[in-house]
């Protein structure tokens, strides 16, 4: 592994911009076609990309697929695939701005659940940051002040699912290298989405084939950038810049989908991100 923090940060910024572009395309396609079909096609391309990458590396597919914990790896892959379905569904109901504002709380959920799931110690400072972050989520949702939108629960569910996926990824990393986890993420996700999405197949108009192809390419390219990012720099250095996906996705929502940024959402996001960055800082300080 290289140690080039500057290059790692640049690659994380590029990664978040590509993923934000992917979110915008997903929202467009989900407004025209069933979410399950859109995610299924995206995973077909992703699985093909994963298999090609694995086959070119030393040891080939045999080494990339070997794991002592296949059940957990499969659960991880299935969980991420379903999480993407939930998040894209949230895009179509809430829009990019509010969905990402709520989803930004997932690092806090990771910190809160790392104790009971991974046995990690969470000190009082991080618990204070977690509680403060969830206060920010309440400010975004405004329960009891305005009519609470049940659609917000989709974004919350997506954040919880991604937090569980992140924790399981850390769990399998104790025995499996990143390439193995990457392989199982793509393949198991593709299998489960094929079983589900094939029942929701819809014919597409010619122009949307281009958007679907771009969605697949940005998905594969984004994951490739993310892998390279973690190869050249430590996760603790680049992870804070992952929040830029919220900035990029919000920009796309405002500029291309005519969404608006409400004051309570802006205030809540600032609180959530500040709390999330503090938990990352404390984790890095305690685990240098």
Examine the pLDDT at 144 and tell me if it is beyond 60.
no
Q: Please report the pLDDT score of residue 174 as a whole number.
A: 85
CA distance linking residue 45 with residue 66, whole number of Å: 22
Nearest by Cα to 238 from 4, 16, 19, 5? 5
Chain centroid to Cα 167, Å, comes to 13
- From CA 152, how far away is CA 160, in angstroms rounded? 13
Task: Give 72-123 pLDDT, tens digit per residue.
Answer: 999 999 999 999 999 999 999 888 998 998 888 888 888 888 878 877 777 7
Domain residue spans of the chain? 5-286
**Coil, helix or strand at residue 4:** coil
Give the pLDDT of residue 177: 84
User: Distance between CA atoms of 268 and 1, rounded to whole angstroms?
Assistant: 37
pLDDT of amino acid 212: 93
User: How much is the mean pLDDT over the chain?
Assistant: 86
3-state secondary structure of 143: strand
pLDDT mean over 261-269: 84
Q: Other C-beta atoms within 10 Å of 181: how many?
A: 20
Residue 152 contacts residue 141 (beta carbons within 8 Å): yes
Averaged pLDDT, 165-185: 87
Contact yes or no for 221/78 (Cβ under 8 A): no
% helix / strand / coil in the chain, to the nearest 5? 80, 0, 15
Say if residues 67 and 207 touch (Cβ distance below 8 Å).
no
Decide if pLDDT at 147 tops 80. no
Please give the C-alpha separations between residue 7 and each of 58, 178, 238, 244, 253, in angstroms, as whole numbers.
25, 20, 10, 16, 28
pLDDT value of residue 143 = 60
User: Greatest CA separation found in the chain?
Assistant: 58
SS3 146: strand
* C-alpha distance from residue 235 to each of 13, 224, 258, 278, 285 (Å): 13, 15, 34, 15, 13
Contact between residue 240 and residue 107 where contact means Cβ atoms under 8 Å apart: no
Q: Which residues pair with 146 in a beta bridge?
A: 143
Q: Would you say the C-alpha torsion 138, 39, 238, 256 has a positive or negative sign? A: negative
Gap between the Cα atoms of 273 and 103, Å rounded: 11
Identify the helix (H) or strand (E) that includes residue 232.
helix 206-232
């Amino acid at each position: 592994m290289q140690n080039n923090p500057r290059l790692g940060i640049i690659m994380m910024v590029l990664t978040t911009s590509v993923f934000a572009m992917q979110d915008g395309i997903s929202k467009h396609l989900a407004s025209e076609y069933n979410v399950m079909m859109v995610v299924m096609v995206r995973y077909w391309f992703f699985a093909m990309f994963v298999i090609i990458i694995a086959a070119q590396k030393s040891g080939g597919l045999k080494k990339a697929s070997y794991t002592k914990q296949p059940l957990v790896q499969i659960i991880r892959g299935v969980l991420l695939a379903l999480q993407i379905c939930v998040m894209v569904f949230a895009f179509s109901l809430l829009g990019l701005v509010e969905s990402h504002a709520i989803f930004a709380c997932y690092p806090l959920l990771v910190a809160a659940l790392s104790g009971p799931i991974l046995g990690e110690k969470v000190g009082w400072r991080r618990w204070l940051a977690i509680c403060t972050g969830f206060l920010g989520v309440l400010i975004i949702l405004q329960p009891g002040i305005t009519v609470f939108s049940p659609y917000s629960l989709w974004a919350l569910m997506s954040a919880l699912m991604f937090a569980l996926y992140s924790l399981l990824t850390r769990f399998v990393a104790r025995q499996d290298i990143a390439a193995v986890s990457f392989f199982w993420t793509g393949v198991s996700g593709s299998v489960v989405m094929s079983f589900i999405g094939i029942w929701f197949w819809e014919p597409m108009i010619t122009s949307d084939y281009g958007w679907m192809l771009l969605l697949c390419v940005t998905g594969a390219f984004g994951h490739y950038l993310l892998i390279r990012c973690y190869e050249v720099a430590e996760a603790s250095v680049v992870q804070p810049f992952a929040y830029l996906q919220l900035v990029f996705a919000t920009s796309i929502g405002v500029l291309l989908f005519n969404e608006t940024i409400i004051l309570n959402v802006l205030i809540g996001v600032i609180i959530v991100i500040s709390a999330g960055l503090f938990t990352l800082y404390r984790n890095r300080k305690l685990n240098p």
